[in-house]
Structure 1
Amino acid sequence: MRLDIQRTTNPAIIKLEAPVILVKGSYQFTTEEQAENSPLAKELLAIPFIKTVFISANFIALEALPIVEWDDVAQEVALQVEAYLRRGAPILIDNIPEEAVPLRKIPVTIYVESTPNPMAMKFVANKKLVSRVYEYKSAQEAAESPLAAALFKFPYVKEVFFDSNYISVIRQPKILWEEVMMELREFIRQYLMAGKPVVRVIVEDGDRPKGLPTLNDIYSRKIIAILDQYIKPAVSSDGGNIQFVSYDKESQVVKVLMQGACNGCPSSKLTLKQGIEAILREKMKNERIVVEAIN
């Protein structure tokens, strides 16, 4: 498991962000006695310059004493935490006394954005939710995601899509967003404020996101690079995602998967031809390229 080192507005504090949910809730430790029920926090507080350890959802925040600069020690500390997590050692021990380690609600705001797909609505959070995309088309598929499973309990939810800091929800037909939008918004806000996990997935080093092909073809790698740079930011802003599936050298056909709000969107064909196909032809200098969606 690799941790991403992130700076904060406080120069004394850094965040070590994980690609998966680490804990349910939020915990703060300032002494080794407080950390009796958190072996990881206890180990970190034993480092002479660590003043405070804060563990929440998918990150560990560390406050250093003014005797050091994070530029000098952040990488070393991150490697130490990565090694700890790889060993499978516990982050928290069950039944942590509330008086010793207070559970804190996380401030969360959610705002709603419409998308080009009238069946999809985008719920944007003021915090990162996931490190890669997740798509669920049914409650059965959502076993790894407590939040998606909870959303499918609403009878009007048809599909759920997570990416970075937002959730795209596709509704069932014959339901108006005006009737359910605020209910979903408040439910998501309360869920995230409680520190509950979005997904529960263990991703080991070298694992690949579901559906992503193994690539040995340089041409395919170039196509993916173009999609990542020129296409994905635009479709992400509309609550969706486009994922490369395959490239056929003989037919020059590039197959992609439309996800989130892009799936079933009335303008998706226009996006394929005037957007993706046109950009790939220009950047690859190949007018024979044809883009097809597999869904």
Structure 2
Amino acid sequence: MGMSGFLLYLAQKNIPMGTAYAVWTGVGIVGTFLVGVLLYADHSSFVHYVGIMLIVSGITCLNVRKGCDIKVYVFIQTEVTPNPHAIKFFPNLSVSPEQPFHFNNAEEAKSCSSDFITITKEEQGDWLTLKPEILMTIMDYFTAGFPVFYYQQGKSSASDSEELSEIEQQIIEIIDSRVRPSVAMDGGDIIYRGFEKGIVKLELRGACLGCPSSTITLKNGIESMLKHFIPEVEAVEAIE
């Protein structure tokens, strides 16, 4: 097990990263000391060896302390979603504070919200194998201090260039204020894509995509709510 694997294990045990680095350094120093005991029989050689070891250890501790000052401490929690093929990963850092991002192809099957990342696996995938790899990838990336996204501010429900009717503005307001926050709690998102002949078209994203209960949520929840507040709405349809 390498250093990153050791740190990941301690993080999963709720041990702070600063303590984890100190433990890793301490294990290395003790191990080096024991090697010296075994290799050097005469007293003078051993004393010389210990002196060199202490100098190296001091430099190492300073580097570790310096590294702890500049490194990002990352602790990741996970949460299941109604979709058995999707899991939410919560780093203790901001993910996408400006707006959610979604990637629905096989290589990038993830959805990023303000404080969590939803990963969706293929049906034949095994979480027992995938979850540790995902945790390691997220931890290494955040620990390195890289930004998650480079992007410009933009709307998530409709394009700026579109001329929206009063009814469409009401639909978007209800979706953004009443629907999306609750859906986001389950690791998903719902985006407004149009209104035509009484039909509201919505795009399901994140954990909502492929979720067994998404149809019930769409019809019994969202459709009923929109019909109640906006009489012009006749039905809601999901589009890809």
Shorter chain as denominator, the TM-score bin is 0.5 to 0.7
More strand by share: 1
CA distance in 2, matches of 1:273, 1:258: 13
Paired amino acid for 1:208: G
Structure 2 counterpart of 1:266, from 204, 212, 215: 212
Find out whether 1:219 has 2:167 as its counterpart.
yes
CA distance in 1, matches of 2:157, 2:175: 16
Task: Report the counterpart of residue 99 of structure 2 in structure 1.
Answer: 132
CA distance in 2, matches of 1:126, 1:289: 42
Count of matched residue positions in the alignment of Structure 1 and Structure 2? 172
Structure 1, unmatched stretches of 5+, are: 1-100, 140-151, 153-157
The CA deviation at 1:138 is 3.1
Contact 2:71 2:143 in 1 (8 A): yes
CA distance in 1, matches of 2:123, 2:229: 39
Contact 1:168 1:260 in 2 (8 A): yes
Task: Provide the secondary structure at the position in 2 that maps to 1:292.
Answer: strand
The CA deviation at 1:189 is 1.7
Contact 1:117 1:265 in 2 (8 A): yes
Contact 1:108 1:189 in 2 (8 A): yes
Task: Provide the secondary structure at the position in 2 that maps to 1:190.
Answer: helix
Contact 1:112 1:185 in 2 (8 A): no
Task: Report the counterpart of residue 70 of structure 2 in structure 1.
Answer: 104
CA distance in 1, matches of 2:233, 2:168: 15
CA distance in 1, matches of 2:157, 2:177: 20
CA distance in 2, matches of 1:294, 1:107: 40
Structure 1 segment 197-236 matched on structure 2, within 5 A = 197-201=147-151, 203=152, 208-209=154-155, 212-213=158-159, 214-236=162-184
Structure 1 residues 254 and 270, CA, compared in 2 at 3 Å: closer, same or farther?
same
Larger Rg: 2
Structure 2, unmatched stretches of 5+, are: 1-65
Structure 2 counterpart of 1:189, from 139, 153, 174: 139
Deviates more, 1:234-243 or 1:128-137: 128-137
Task: Provide the secondary structure at the position in 1 that maps to 2:79.
Answer: strand
Q: Deviations over 1:241-289 (max 9, x none)?
A: 00111111xx2100011011111111111110011101111122x2752
Paired amino acid for 1:127: L
C-alpha RMSD of the superposition: 2.3
Task: Report the counterpart of residue 119 of structure 2 in structure 1.
Answer: 169
Task: Report the counterpart of residue 252 of structure 1 in structure 2.
Answer: 198
Contact 1:111 1:185 in 2 (8 A): no
Task: Report the counterpart of residue 237 of structure 1 in structure 2.
Answer: 185
CA distance in 1, matches of 2:157, 2:167: 19
Q: Deviations over 1:113-152 (max 9, x none)?
A: 111111111111222211211111237xxxxxxxxxxxx4
Contact 2:203 2:238 in 1 (8 A): yes
Contact 2:226 2:233 in 1 (8 A): no
Task: Provide the secondary structure at the position in 1 that maps to 2:172.
Answer: helix
Q: Percent identity of the aligned residues?
A: 32
CA distance in 1, matches of 2:184, 2:103: 17
Contact 2:86 2:118 in 1 (8 A): yes
More helix by share: 2
CA distance in 2, matches of 1:211, 1:244: 5
Find out whether 1:294 has 2:230 as its counterpart.
no
CA distance in 2, matches of 1:287, 1:244: 16
Contact 1:105 1:195 in 2 (8 A): yes
CA distance in 2, matches of 1:223, 1:197: 33
Paired amino acid for 2:138: I
Task: Report the counterpart of residue 113 of structure 1 in structure 2.
Answer: 79
Q: Deviations over 1:68-120 (max 9, x none)?
A: xxxxxxxxxxxxxxxxxxxxxxxxxxxxxxxxx98811122111111111111
Task: Provide the secondary structure at the position in 1 that maps to 2:109.
Answer: strand
Contact 1:215 1:221 in 2 (8 A): no
